[in-house]
Structure 1
Amino acid sequence: MGILILNGCSTGQSTEGTGQKDSTSNENLIVVMKSDVTNLDPHFIVDITTANVLYEKVYETLIIPDEDMKPQPHLATEWSQLDDITWEFKLREGVKFHDGTPFTADAVKKTFDRLLDPKVGSPQASKLGMIKEVEVKDDYNVVFHLTKPYAPLLSILASNEGSIMNPTMLESTPELLQKEANGTGPFMFEEWKSGQYVKLKANPDYWGTAVKISGVEFRVVPEDTTRLGMIERGEAHIMSQIPVNEIQRIESSDNMKLLRNEGLGVEFVGFNVQKAPVDNLLVRQAISHAIDREAILSGVFNDVGFLGTSTMSSKVFGYSDQLVPYPYDPEKAKELLKEAGYENGLKLTLLTADRAERISLAEVVQSQLKVIGVEVEIRVLEYGSYIDANTNQEGHLFNGSWGNATGDGDYNQYNLFHSNSQGSAGNYQYYSNTEVDRLLDEARGEKDDEKRKEIYAKTQKIELDEAAYVPIRSYENLAVYHSSVKGMKMSPVSYFILSDVEIVE
């Protein structure tokens, strides 16, 4: 196969390694976010909030996705697929980590050796478990040897999971990685004060085009209205996780701008299929029939986003448009509960993170299920506690979401439904189906795109038939920013792209 030599990148970051130093403003960009980061180690990051602070800001990847999620050069300048299981990458020269450590093939090898080490216990290991070995040919050439063909390799290497880490820290102080970040990116880690903020500063020795701001402060402000007020008054510059009932206020404001684009993420109500009584297919089908998804999209989300039919957005490779979710039918739901032996009702626990729309969604589900005799206890948890509770299988139901980081169906399907991904890797349904496992393994090795799409169509239908979840909506990414901010962009994954951002009074 031929070598891909790609020179362009539409993310706004230079791929030429010129080291050009543009002038930066003296003002820090203030980003307000609802929840604190969980840790700063890319091998243990499992949430978008944390990844958004570090991805392509402090840590960088061999490949970077463009706005259409197509792979472009970054820390690797070119690559070639030598055969079905062998990929070679040529690395960018003249790049340094923030502590001065040179970026070479050694960093790439040590990064993936550590990620895949069972003793490390990274929840990301299964996503890159097809890598058998990273071979160092010389300082600027590495070869990835796979255990079997893996069609979406480039897409996963371009995601947060593919972040290249500092080999000096990996060897000397790996325990510090959760609290201190040290990458090759345009921003350098400065300070994390838990529960309050993460501060980054511009990297004066960045290999590419320098950013136009002096730094970024990601500030934790739990209250939605407080965050929005800070943007309107100019006390902060950018905010994500926009309350959908505030869109009209934002659009009518002279001080605020709304950015929205179709995203890759999805929202759903998940079942812990191993926990009685929702281990019973009839119970799950009954609940699926009792949830009015259209009413939720309109009433809870103000028609922001698109009615879901899968755990895959229509923008993700492999999405099937042939799926038909369980229709809203409370009477059918009652019949199924009776057939399952729960004619007199049952009690369930629903876990939700402490975001306004998620809480509203939980309350609407609670109300809708009450109609069929199902009593739901809602547990509202801070995001980190919510993740822990799902990992520990503490609920019957949960408000789930999955923000696809690659644009490829493998990232949704394998992580949400393969038996190997149960728990913190993404499969909080604790779903297991040998046929689905087989198909997902087959899809990873299939080079023909049309055949891969057919496989994913089959797995999505099985998962829906088995009522592993209730699809609610696919995301429309929203962000609000102060009118003084110019050059603001957001990727389909919902990551902020700050390479061109400047603050203009």
Structure 2
Amino acid sequence: MIRKRLFHSLLGLLLAATMLAGCSMGVEPPAENESPPPKAGAEGGTLVVARMSDATNLDPHFISTINAASVVHQKVYEGLVKRDANMVIAPQLALSWRQVNDLVWEFKLRQGVFFHDGTPFDAAAVKKTLDRVMDPKTASPRAAMFDKIKEVKIIDPYTVQFLLEKPFAPLLSILASHEGSIISPKAIDEYGRELSAHPVGTGPFLFRSWEPGRQIVLDKNPHYWGDQPKLDRVVFRVVADDTKRIALVENGEAHVAESIPVQDIERLSASNRLRVYRSEALGTEFIGFNVAAGPLRDLRVRQAISSAIETGAIIKGVYNNVGTQANSPLGPKVFGYSPSVKSYPYDLNKARELLAKAGYPNGFSIRMLTYDRNDRVTVAQVIRSQLKGIGIDARLEVVSYADFVTQIEKTRTHEIFVSGWGNATGDADYNQYNLFHTQGGGAGNSFQYSNPELDRLLDAGRVETDPAKRLAIYAKAQELELRDALLVPIRNLENLAVISTDIQGFSI
């Protein structure tokens, strides 16, 4: 067992999981039920993290889930910039940056940094990485994140410029996310589309092995340019069963269990072998409306439904008070969030009055869609019960996640839908533009909402460089979205994990 070992903050884990196949570098990882003996002293040893599921991809240009990114982002791979503990953009592989003008960003790079394969980090490596993700032949699903970059230009070996098609204020937030990871140019040439099985970055941990469905192993990078990690090895072990995952921490076979059932919090908090870790996350959960479907075309109907849903009861009854009351499509930690935006208060009399004015004094029947995740289904059942109070029969349909995405993004046959979203960059643009803009939203605009005023605000938020003015722009945008009752915000997400009492310094 690890005794009071420090968990280096660069391992700040994200909840969830899912990934692909990998290779071994010749070192046998620990057996499934074996936790390696620790070294003497306060640091070192192996940290075992039990996760719900495996990864799907470890290539930053093909990772499409936060749970996959959490294995390699800021561990194996680093970017030009990062977000610090307060969500502020800070230097990483770039020492400094400046905007030469609205269309040119210049970065001064850190010298003396090497990739895990010995290749030097320099401007050529930055250009090769960005050219790869932007190349249509690569067919990266993350390419759209960089579509404002016209060219990556090398000024000298440690100076690089990004030439933009048009001003783009969220650029740094994207460079700080996993999409902005800088990859070894040698590895790009050697592995190509097989890079997922051979991650090579500049980070504090080296990729060691990946046994699909079982575990991923990272080792300490002894040549890391920054502060050395406090651990020798990290093992991400796949344990699908909640009870087994928690039991591994209780009996000392693992040190962290990610994603724990909310109903177990009280029992786990009483244990003297472990503690429950909680921290504010970036995502939100909500009830969404397809404003082009049936009765939902009428604003008064959407307002009535919004007034009939008691979100506080959902947070308490379904989530055991995990997470906080949401008032906006954005979580409080996301840049652009407005604390002054207000959703419709719970008021059944007002809801009935609005329905009557809309021509539905006796209510109506409507379809409510969600996917087969236990908490989402339970939330939908509670909503169905609450809407009966105003005469609305919300017929619940539970489908697979793939079918859910198909319906809300392609066939558009949905009416009410229960869902949620994360935010990979910490910037309002990531969600706002992709979900609510008439043109930019595309498939992501599951609300089928189009408002020229909102489009102008979201376009302005992308080019405005003054942070205070950007905050004001997104505050107005959120007010419009809530005024037009596009959704009912339920809760701001919270990270949950169980941690051995022998671990210190852990953060998500």
2:69 aligned residue (31, 35, 51): 51
Q: Distance in 1 between matches of 2:123 and 2:216?
A: 30
The equivalent residue for 1:403 is 422
The equivalent residue for 1:375 is 394
Q: Distance in 2 between matches of 1:406 and 1:147?
A: 21
Task: Provide the aligned length of Structure 1 versus Structure 2.
Answer: 470
1:317-466 map, 5 Å: 317-330=335-348, 332-333=350-351, 339=358, 345-352=364-371, 354=373, 356-371=374-389, 372-379=391-398, 381=400, 390-392=408-410, 393=412, 395-422=414-441, 427-429=445-447, 431-466=449-484
Which piece of structure 1 moves more, 217-226 or 467-476? 217-226
Do the aligned partners of 1:287 and 1:333 also contact (CA within 8 Å) in 2? yes
SS in 2 for 1:369: helix
Do the aligned partners of 1:443 and 1:456 also contact (CA within 8 Å) in 2? yes
The equivalent residue for 1:149 is 167
The equivalent residue for 1:186 is 204
Q: Deviations over 1:483-505 (max 9, x none)?
A: 12222122xxxxxxxxxxxxxxx
2:324 aligned residue (296, 302, 306): 306
Paired letter, 2:315: L
Q: Distance in 2 between matches of 1:34 and 1:286?
A: 38
Gaps of 5+ in 2: 1-7, 12-39
Paired letter, 1:323: V
Paired letter, 1:220: V
Which piece of structure 1 moves more, 151-160 or 66-75? 151-160
Paired letter, 2:382: V
Same amino acid, percent of matched pairs: 47
SS in 2 for 1:479: strand
Alpha-carbon RMSD:
3.1
Paired letter, 2:154: V
Q: Distance in 1 between matches of 2:51 and 2:448?
A: 30
Do the aligned partners of 2:300 and 2:355 also contact (CA within 8 Å) in 1? yes
Alignment pair present for 1:68 and 2:86: yes
Shift of 1:460: 0.7
Do the aligned partners of 1:369 and 1:376 also contact (CA within 8 Å) in 2? no
Shift of 1:286: 3.8
Shift of 1:261: 2.8
- What's the TM-score once normalised by structure 2's chain length? 0.82
Shift of 1:416: 2.9
Which piece of structure 1 moves more, 45-54 or 258-267? 258-267
1:127 aligned residue (145, 159, 162): 145
Do the aligned partners of 2:49 and 2:254 also contact (CA within 8 Å) in 1? yes
The equivalent residue for 1:496 is none
Shift of 1:325: 1.2
Shift of 1:231: 1.9
**Structure of greater Rg:** 2
Closer, same or farther: CA 203–328 of 1 in aligned 2, 3 Å:
same
- What's the TM-score once normalised by structure 1's chain length? 0.83
Q: Distance in 2 between matches of 1:415 and 1:252?
A: 43
Shift of 1:212: 2.7
Closer, same or farther: CA 57–328 of 1 in aligned 2, 3 Å:
same
Paired letter, 1:98: H
Q: Deviations over 1:452-501 (max 9, x none)?
A: 222111111111223222101123333321112222122xxxxxxxxxxx
SS in 2 for 1:115: helix
Gaps of 5+ in 1: 1-10, 15-21, 491-505
